[in-house]
Structure 1
Amino acid sequence: MTLVTPYRSRGQRLARTGLIGFVALVFAFLVLPTLAIIPLSLNPSSFLVFPDDGVSLRWYRVLFASPDWMRALRNSLAVAVATTLIATPLGTLAAIGLARMRSRAKPVIAGLFAAPLVVPVVVVAIAFYFLFAPLGLVNGFAGLVIAHTVLATPFVVIVVHASLQGFDFGLLRAASSLGARPSTVLLRVLAPLIGPGIAAGAVFAFMTSFDETVVALFIAGPEQRTIPLQMFEGVREQISPAITAAATLLVIASSLLLGTAELLRRRAERLNRPPS
């Protein structure tokens, strides 16, 4: 036994080192192309040149001085905030109902909630266009917010439903037995306990709306052009290094939001973890 153990532990160390190396290579393959945008955004040249001729914030100044880019930013923020305010309560209530459901149809209903994530987004965009066109919702903020809400709500359902795993619903019955109204039970008992999960779902809803491009191409009009649409139009018509500055800011914002969502998710798991 003493002769086998060192070889076995050495093999385990080699396997672990190989696995870590493989994961690092995959991570680099996925992340490095995105990080390459950052030095390009600091290029003082009027063309996309790599390696850079120097370091300059020229294109960040152009970005924030452009009326078109600032209008696109305002549109993106307005649509994303409206989408978040609608998708978060809808997704939260759906997740609570799904978590308490004991029907055999639960997997089917859960699949229906996740359908917008499975169907190709271009198919969803075409469906929205033909549905909204007769209703006059194309080329307007209302149609864009509704479409983004449909795309963002499944993320809220998934995140909040995950935070409800292990939650003791007996607390809700106890509060009801003490005379609390359903709204009070929801807002004073359930919401504080799964608050981090709800906040994480709201972050994902905001990111989904802010970064969405395909549906906006079909639904949004010239006055509703968002940041992704502005970037798309810039690449199609005239490639400007200002696009790399906008992309860098989006990468930084997305990384911060993803980190925040992960911290909130872990906090929700700790709150709902049963005591040992």
Structure 2
Amino acid sequence: MAASVYASPAEKSWHYLHRLICGAVLLFLTAPVLVVVPLSFNSVPFFTYPMSGLSLRWYEEFFFTDRWQSALQNSIFVAVSVTLLSTALGTLAALGLSRPKFPWRTAVMTILISPMVVPVVITAIGVYFFYADVGLLNTYAGLILAHTTLATPFVVITVTATLFGFDSSLTRAAAGLGASPITVFFKITVPLILPGMLSGSLFAFITSFDETVIALFIAGADQRTLPKVMFSGIREQISPTIIAAATVLIVLSMGMLATVQLLRRRSERLRGIRGN
């Protein structure tokens, strides 16, 4: 018979205090981001509290003007292309690194995740000079490849984490039963690592969709993304439409991060079932 465990008053007090401290820190970190959301509904073009009235005029300008919609479409096109390319490359890299006899695993992993460590402005400068020599400046291909460099490490990390609980005996059993390597990959490997792939792809999408520095260096007038238009708008004319665009990005990022969390829990649950 299992013994019942009762928390003492001191333990309960510390438990609630711990939650209160965590909530205060979380509020401190997110308040500067969330405080701009009400301003996007302001009826006047001034960033002041209290607001004089509520209006959706800035959202109407964001969703129904060519300048903002063109930038939004460019961001979506580039982000989707980057997601597909980085998911494919990152998954293949993670599968290769997971092999027991892979040589120089640590060195290769360090190189693959280096774009996450190196300041993005350094990466942007290097990409700019390299693309200037090969003719990829002011092109969609150049912007997609540069964003893929930043996004692929997220896929590598998430898929590698999923592969830690991967049971390689399943693939050996399928191969022993006569399945081809392609069949084993798509019927056994992909379904088992799919949560990690989806999580990595969502991180890749967010990385590309929110990226500004590299776009400022290598994107031309035809490749203006939403963050680039927002940055230019802050320099030229501060408009509440920028706040409306920022609110859309905040909601999108929060939705994707919530999806990543759900996928992570599903992956842990599946690994627990297999472990049992």
TM-score range, shorter chain: over 0.9
Whichever residue aligns with residue 36 of structure 2, its letter is I
1:196–1:268 contact (8 Å) kept in structure 2: yes
Q: Give a deviation string over 1:173-194, Cα, whole Å, max 9, x none.
A: 1111111111111111110111
Give 2:188's aligned residue: 189
Number of residue pairs matched by the alignment: 271
Give 2:152's aligned residue: 153
Residues of 2 paired with 1:110 and 1:38: CA distance? 39
Residues of 2 paired with 1:145 and 1:71: CA distance? 17
Give 1:275's aligned residue: 275
Root-mean-square deviation (CA), in Å?
1.6
2:96–2:102 contact (8 Å) kept in structure 1: no
Residues of 1 paired with 2:106 and 2:100: CA distance? 10
After superposition, residues 1-276 of structure 1 pair within 5 angstroms as 9-103=8-102, 105-273=104-272, 274-276=274-276
Structure 2 spans left out of the alignment, 5+ residues: none
Residues of 1 paired with 2:101 and 2:264: CA distance? 25
Whichever residue aligns with residue 8 of structure 2, its letter is S
Q: Residue 15 of structure 1: CA displacement?
A: 2.5
TM-score (norm: length of structure 2): 0.94
Structure 1 consecutive aligned stretches of length 4 or more whose deviation exceeds 4 Å: none
Q: Residue 90 of structure 1: CA displacement?
A: 0.7
Q: Residue 102 of structure 1: CA displacement?
A: 4.0
Whichever residue aligns with residue 269 of structure 2, its letter is R
Residues of 2 paired with 1:50 and 1:173: CA distance? 64
Q: Residue 197 of structure 1: CA displacement?
A: 1.5
TM-score (norm: length of structure 1): 0.94
Q: Give a deviation string over 1:82-121, Cα, whole Å, max 9, x none.
A: 1011000110111111122345732222222210000001
1:138–1:219 contact (8 Å) kept in structure 2: yes
Q: Residue 14 of structure 1: CA displacement?
A: 2.8
Taking every aligned residue pair, what percent have the same amino acid on both sides? 50
Residues of 2 paired with 1:20 and 1:42: CA distance? 32
Residues of 1 paired with 2:85 and 2:173: CA distance? 30
Q: Residue 16 of structure 1: CA displacement?
A: 2.2
Whichever residue aligns with residue 176 of structure 1, its letter is A
2:71–2:226 contact (8 Å) kept in structure 1: yes
1:126–1:218 contact (8 Å) kept in structure 2: yes
Residues of 2 paired with 1:103 and 1:86: CA distance? 23
Residues of 2 paired with 1:14 and 1:105: CA distance? 50
SS class of match (1:194): helix
Structure 1 spans left out of the alignment, 5+ residues: none
Q: Give a deviation string over 1:149-170, Cα, whole Å, max 9, x none.
A: 0100000011111111211011
Residues of 1 paired with 2:254 and 2:49: CA distance? 24
Whichever residue aligns with residue 115 of structure 1, its letter is S
Shift in alpha-carbon separation, 1:21–1:104, aligned structure 2, 3 A: farther
Whichever residue aligns with residue 43 of structure 2, its letter is P
